[in-house]
Structure 1
Amino acid sequence: MNRIKEVLDRKGIKQIWLAEQLGKSYNMVHSYAQNKRQPSIDDLYKIAEILNVDIKELLVSNKPEQKTK
């Protein structure tokens, strides 16, 4: 699972712009944003670079949050 749509929304960036920057079709980027497809690791790094975010911001953690006592 990824958080691409959330990061795009937070930064006010359109999916079509990301598609152009990434060299992918709008449909592909839309599929990434809707979590219907997952980008390759290489593409995920490119997306993080284009959006100027740490790659971790684009991913949903696979570990539940630890609650402190």
Structure 2
Amino acid sequence: MRNLIINRLKVVLVEKNRSSRWLAEQLRKDETTVSRWCTNISQPKLETLILIASLLDIDVRELLYPTKDKDK
């Protein structure tokens, strides 16, 4: 099975001038875990995405790529 790019976490962190290390510290998670989220190797739980959105002061939907093409 091919890895799907589901979250935009890496992009949003750059947009917000934040590092994965900063996020790991805020969430009290291992840096490796956050790195795996940023590279879409694994995905954070929905509750964690909501917390990340709050920390970054964004809507949680900004962390995800759309799953359907709006033009169809």
TM-score using structure 1 length = 0.92
Q: Percent identity?
A: 40
- Which of 15, 22, 25 matches 1:10? 15
Gaps of 5+ in 2: 1-5
Q: Which of structure 1's runs of 4+ aligned residues deviate more than 4 A?
A: none
Counterpart for residue 31 of structure 2: 26
**CA distance, structure 2, for counterparts of residue 6 and residue 65 of structure 1:** 21
Amino acid at match of 2:47: D
Paired position in structure 1 for 2:71: 66
**Residues 8-50 of structure 1: CA distance to partner in whole angstroms, max 9, x if unpaired?**
0111101000000011110000000000000000101011011
Report how many aligned residue pairs link the two structures: 67
Could you tell me which runs of 5 or more consecutive residues in structure 1 were left unpaired when the two chains were aligned. Answer: none
Matching residue's letter, 1:47: I
Separation in structure 2 between the aligned mates of residue 36 and residue 3 of structure 1, nearest angstrom: 12
Distance across 2 between alignment mates of 1:43 and 1:37: 13
